[in-house]
Chain A
Amino acid sequence: MKVERWTRTSRVFTGGLAVSVVILAAVPLIFDPDVVQKLTTLLILVLLAAMWNALAGYGGLLSVGQQAFIGMGAYATVFFANLGVPPYAAMLVATVVAGAISVPISLFALRLRAAQFAIGMWVIAEVASIVVRLDQNLGAGTGISLIQLNQYEPNFRQAYTFWLALGFAVIFLAALFLLLRSPLGVSLQAIRDDEDAARSIGVRVASRKRLLFVLAAFGCSAAGVLVVANTLFIEPGSVFSVQWSAYMIFMVLVGGLGTFEGPILGAILLFAIQATFTQGGPWYLVGLGATAAVFALALPRGLWGTVEERLGLRLMPVGYRVVGAKREETDG
Chain B
Amino acid sequence: MTILNAILQGIFLGAFYAVLACGLSIMFGVMRIINLAHGDVAVLGAYIVLVIVDRTGVSAFVAFLIALPVMVVLGYALHFSVLERSLRAGILTPLLATFGLSIVIQNLLQLAFSPDVHSLGGSAGAVTTSSWQVTGGLSVSALGVLVLVTAVVVFGALQLLLSNTRLGWMMRATAEDADAAELVGINSRAVYASATALAVVIAALGGLFLGIRSVFDPVSGPTQLIFAFEAVVIGGMGSLWGTLLGGIALGIAQTLGAQIHPQFAVLAGHLLFLAVLVARFGGARVVLRTAR
* B-binding residues in A (CB < 8 A): 56, 60, 62, 64, 104, 107-108, 111-116, 118-120, 122-124, 126-127, 130-131, 133-134, 242, 245-246, 249, 253, 282-283, 285-286, 288-294, 296-298, 300
Contacts and interface: CB of A to CB of B under 8 A. Distances in A.
Given A123-B274, A292-B103, A300-B89, A134 B263 contact: yes
Interface stretch (B131-139, B147-155, B279-287): B279-287
Contact of A296 (B93, B233, B271): B93
A286 B103 contact: yes
A130 B96 CA distance: 26
Contacts of A107: 283, 286-287, 290
B1 interface: no
B34 A282 contact: no
Q: A-side binding surface: helix, strand, loop or mixed?
A: helix
Interface of B: 28, 33-34, 36, 82, 85-86, 89, 91-93, 95-104, 106-108, 110-111, 222, 225-226, 229-230, 233, 237, 261, 263, 266-267, 270-271, 273-274, 277-278, 281-283, 286-287, 290
A116 B226 contact: no
Contacts of A298: 85
A64 B91 CA distance: 15
B92 A130 contact: no
A107 B287 CA distance: 7
A292 B36 CA distance: 14
A249 B100 contact: yes
A124 B283 CA distance: 15
A229 B111 CA distance: 33
Contacts of A300: 89, 93
Given A62-B92, A242-B222, A120 B287 contact: no
Contacts of B263: 130, 133-134
A64 to B, nearest CB: 7
A107 B285 CA distance: 10
B104 A112 contact: no
B100 A111 contact: no
Given A119-B34, A289-B107, A297-B86, 17 more contacts: A60-B92, A108-B277, A111-B281, A111-B286, A114-B34, A115-B36, A120-B277, A123-B273, A127-B271, A134-B261, A282-B110, A283-B111, A285-B107, A286-B111, A289-B102, A296-B89, A296-B97
30 contacts: A56-B92, A60-B92, A108-B278, A108-B281, A111-B281, A112-B281, A114-B34, A114-B92, A114-B95, A115-B28, A118-B36, A119-B225, A119-B226, A123-B273, A124-B274, A127-B271, A134-B261, A242-B222, A245-B99, A282-B111, A285-B107, A286-B104, A286-B111, A289-B103, A292-B100, A293-B96, A293-B97, A294-B100, A296-B93, A297-B97
Contacts of B93: 296-297, 300
| Chain B CB within 10 A, most for which of A104, A118, A290, A293 | A293
A296 B97 CA distance: 6
Given A56-B92, A115-B34, A126-B270, A289 B100 contact: yes
Contact of B107 (A115, A134, A283): A283
Nearest to B85: A297
Given A64-B36, A283-B111, A289 B282 contact: no
B271 A116 contact: no
Given A111-B282, A120-B274, A123-B226, A286 B86 contact: no
A297 B111 contact: no
A64 B229 CA distance: 14
Nearest to A289: B103
The 8 closest A-B pairs by CB, nearest first: A108-B283, A289-B103, A293-B100, A115-B34, A292-B100, A296-B96, A282-B107, A111-B281
Contacts of B267: 127, 130-131
A104 to B, nearest CB: 8
A107 B267 CA distance: 21
Contacts of A123: 226, 230, 270, 273-274
A126 B226 contact: yes
A126 B82 contact: no
Nearest to B32: A114
A118 B96 CA distance: 10
Nearest to A286: B107
B95 to A, nearest CB: 5
A116 B216 CA distance: 26
Contacts of A133: 263
Contacts of B34: 114-115, 118-119
Nearest to A115: B34
A163 to B, nearest CB: 34
Given A64-B36, A116-B277, A292 B99 contact: yes
A56, A283, A286 — which one has the most chain B CB atoms within 10 A of its CB?
A: A286
Nearest to B281: A111
A246 B82 contact: no
A133 B92 CA distance: 32
Contacts of B85: 297-298
Nearest to A127: B270
Contacts of B270: 123, 126-127, 130
A98 B139 CA distance: 45
Contacts of A296: 86, 89, 93, 96-97, 100
B147 to A, nearest CB: 24
